[in-house]
Amino acid sequence: MTGAQPEEPTTTVPDFTSLHPSNDRYLLRNLLWCHACDVPMAPSQAPSFLGAPRPRTYHCPHGCRETILRAEIVEERAIAAAGERATIRDVAPLFMQSALELLIRQVRVASNDSDLVFHWRT
């Protein structure tokens, strides 16, 4: 897996007729991996501060990260990246997780949050 060559961009139109609905708010539940530990990142919620809404986060189950990874930020980046490869703007939120799983094999996140590496399905 490491050392795999980045895939060439493809113009293949994915088969969105196979999408299935999901109420899972963590769009990258099965896709986001900790690059350092080579394990899936776990959905979680940050502790509440003074009654403010608890932000959705992902964390490495091995505890290698010291900073919180905000779910909205990484999910927006994944949607934006996927949108450069396929027309997903018409995909309803209920089907977005399925659409991302159709396009993305893995999103590997380094300890530096700005360093996301996408591995695409062909």
Cα torsion at 106, 20, 9, 119 (round to 10°)? 0
Q: Which of 19, 31, 34, 104 binds Zn ion (CB under 5 A)?
A: 34
Told to check if 62 binds Zn ion by CB under 5 A, we report yes
Count of beta carbons in the 10 Å neighbourhood of residue 16: 16
Stretch that binds Zn ion, among 2-10, 20-28, 53-61, 97-105 (CB under 5 A): 53-61
Give CA–CA dist 68/30, Å, rounded.
18
Interface residue with Zn ion, options 14, 16, 22, 36 (CB under 5 A): 36
82-111 residues near Zn ion, rule: CB under 5 A: none
Q: Nearer Cβ to Zn ion, position 19 or 108?
A: 108
- How does DSSP classify residue 23? -
Q: Does 54 bind Zn ion (CB under 5 A)?
A: no
64 binds Zn ion (CB under 5 A): yes
Q: Strand 104-109 relative to strand 116-120: parallel, antiparallel, unpaired? A: antiparallel
Sole binder of Zn ion in the list 37, 42, 79, 116 (CB under 5 A): 37
90: which residues sit within 8 A by CB, 6+ positions away?
none
Query: Which residues of the chain form contacts with Zn ion (CB under 5 A)?
Result: 34, 36-37, 60, 62, 64
